Amino acid sequence: MRVICKRTLREFWEKHSNSQSGLLLWYQRISDSKFQNLNDLRQVFPSADLVGNFTVFKDNCKNDEWFKNS
């Protein structure tokens, strides 16, 4: 799996500095992994889902305010 653009993550955490550590950890786990299929991915990220050709992740943490205010 690859992240399309780390720059987008960086731009987000520059606006929301308390998101940086979580996004970097997520990025590292995704970049270092060798998931073979969606079931493998869901072992680590249960909220992962397929939307067309893309994998999306829903973050259920308290910081949903980031997305409402971005």
pLDDT tens, 26-38? 888 888 888 899 9
> Which string of b and e fits 39-59 if b means at least 16 CB within 10 Å?
eebeeebeebeeeeeeeeeee
Residue 55: predicted pLDDT: 86
**Is the CB of residue 29 less than 8 Å from the CB of residue 44?**
yes
Given a cut of 70, whether residue 69 has pLDDT beyond it is no
Residue 64: predicted pLDDT: 52
CA dist., res. 22 & res. 28, Å (int): 10
pLDDT tens for residues 9-59?
A: 899 899 988 889 988 998 888 888 888 999 999 998 888 899 888 888 876
Question: pLDDT exceeding 90 applies to what percent of the chain?
Answer: 20
